[in-house]
Amino acid sequence: MSECDIENTILKHYDIVKRLGKGAYGIVWRAKNKKNGNTVALKKIFDAFRNQTDAQRTFREITFLQAFAGHPNIIRLLNVIKADNNKDIYLVFEHMETDLHNCIKKGNVLKDVHKKYIFYQLLRAVKYLHSANVIHRDLKPSNILLDSDCLVKVCDFGLTRSLTRLHDGVRGSVESFSDTAVNSGDPELTEYVATRWYRAPEILLASSRYTKFVDMWSLGCILGEMLRGKPLFPGSSTINQIERIVSVVDKPSDEDIASLHSEYGRSILAKAFQKPRRPIETFLGADVDRNAVDLLKKLLILNPSKRLTVEEAINHSYVKKFRDPSSEIVMDHDVTPPLSDDLQLSVADYQQKLYEIILEKKAQRRIQRILRTMKLEDERSMPDRSVSLSLKFYHQGDNI
């Protein structure tokens, strides 16, 4: 795709530098903001409202990213732009140099210290999400962005869900909602091949409910992949995925199997556990950090309620070297999308609400620019000592 496929309204504000990737649903470029010179990632979502599932995913991506914009380990969405054709959507993100998938694939790029630092930052991000009673549901190495300073940014919130029911008004600690569940009937989770390797067993086994612990399983898979240098459970099908998982996890009790809330899962597990098993240590090698193995085992448990919570994981000795409790910010309220997430609405509903949000944000940015300009003019009449700071602040403003 060339620059001519990008609307002039976009090219007016951004210089396209390089195409970073293209998929069935969109394309991403590295671009430069003409106004402030900042490098950004420009993502074009093709026909964002082609059906209810795509419309809901686009809506989730944007609304949840806006809600979690204040966390240093969550990618910042700078702008949302409606395309001229009334079908496509442009998302403007802060630019990151690579992702964890590419780092792992290159081999010896990540040392032990990098792995610990990356995982600690991941735990901080998930702690923030879970404190808002929200689950990401699609944590995987390609959704974990990195820069040359090893700074982590979690991205892709298209499958994110709020666990808060609309009639609930109860608040609690980060972990008080760990057992809050949502039904697993989302069409996106049915044989979602690209991310099957990081899916929790309860999702693979068609459980009638799932909780925050689906994210904790995914974190375990990510940690294991960093330690091993390749995916832990690269299943070729759902059944093969389950077989790979049960070959290394501790054999569950009848109570553990019942906790999955899936009759289908019960029968699948009964067959799978008849096959040969091997300790997870044999996957990782003899020189792997013992603390890492201990943490991994406590995350990769078949019974969701027996996995570590994010609070327990972030207190684990594996990440102790980098632990800074003062940096582990949490939300003081539950985050819920502007439209009900319990069922799919019409394409028109998602499109209309999203366009309303875009217009509202545009108006807010316009007001902010006016206020910054007024502040700058006031400061120009003050002594020079304050001018440089205000200019620095001004240049860090939002795009467009």
| pLDDT tens digits, one per residue of 329-343 | 999 999 987 766 666
Mean pLDDT on 1-28: 83
Res. 379 pLDDT band, cuts 50 70 90: low
Mean pLDDT on 87-116: 94
Range with lowest mean pLDDT among 172-186, 240-254, 376-390 = 376-390
Question: Across all residues in the chain, what is the average pLDDT?
Answer: 82
Let me know: does 227 contact 93? Beta carbons within 8 Å: no
Res. 350 pLDDT band, cuts 50 70 90: confident
What pLDDT does 252 receive? 79
- Max mean pLDDT among 49-58, 126-135, 286-295, 372-381 falls in 126-135
Specify the domain boundaries for CATH 1.10.510.10 within the chain: 98-327
Res. 271 pLDDT band, cuts 50 70 90: confident
238-246 vs 263-272: helix crossing angle, rounded to 10:
60
Let me know: does 322 contact 332? Beta carbons within 8 Å: no
First to last CA, the chain: 24
Residue 255 has pLDDT above 90, yes or no: no
Q: What are the two backbone dihedrals, phi and then psi, of residue 81, each rounded to the nearest 5 degrees? A: -125, 130
What pLDDT does 1 receive? 44
DSSP state of 341: S
Q: How far apart are CA 397 and CA 146, in angstroms?
A: 22
Biggest alpha carbon–alpha carbon distance for the chain: 80
Quick one: which of 65, 170, 134, 118 has its CA closest to 330? 134
Q: How far apart are CA 200 and CA 181, in angstroms?
A: 14
Quick one: which of 202, 199, 230, 189 has its CA closest to 53? 189
User: What token pair was written down for 223?
Assistant: 């940690």
Inter-CA distances, 15 with 21, 128, 201, Å? 17, 34, 44
Q: How far apart are CA 275 and CA 248, in angstroms?
A: 11
Share of the chain above pLDDT 90, in %: 50
Catalytic residue list contains 147: no
Let me know: does 121 contact 151? Beta carbons within 8 Å: yes
What pLDDT does 39 receive? 97
The CATH number assigned to the domain with range 98-327 reads 1.10.510.10
Candidate CATH numbers 3.30.43.10, 3.20.20.120, 3.40.190.10, 3.30.200.20; the one for domain 3-95+346-395: 3.30.200.20
What pLDDT does 206 receive? 77
Helix or strand or coil: residue 40?
strand
Mean pLDDT on 305-318: 97
Inter-CA distances, 274 with 54, 239, 243, 251, Å? 40, 14, 10, 11
Instruction: Using a cut of 0.75, tell me whether the model's pTM lies above it.
Output: yes
Q: How far apart are CA 219 and CA 320, in angstroms?
A: 17
Let me know: does 161 contact 331? Beta carbons within 8 Å: no
Indicate the annotated binding residues: 43
On the CB side of 163, CA atoms within 13 Å amount to: 27
Indicate the annotated binding residues for ATP: 43
Catalytic residue among 99, 138, 186, 215: 138
Q: How far apart are CA 92 and CA 277, in angstroms?
A: 47
Q: How far apart are CA 163 and CA 165, in angstroms?
A: 6
Specify the domain boundaries for CATH 3.30.200.20 within the chain: 3-95+346-395
What pLDDT does 169 receive? 45
Q: What are the two backbone dihedrals, phi and then psi, of residue 140, each rounded to the nearest 5 degrees? A: -160, 160
Let me know: does 119 contact 223? Beta carbons within 8 Å: yes
Range with lowest mean pLDDT among 186-190, 321-325, 327-331, 385-389 = 385-389
- Max mean pLDDT among 238-247, 293-302, 330-339 falls in 293-302
What pLDDT does 276 receive? 77
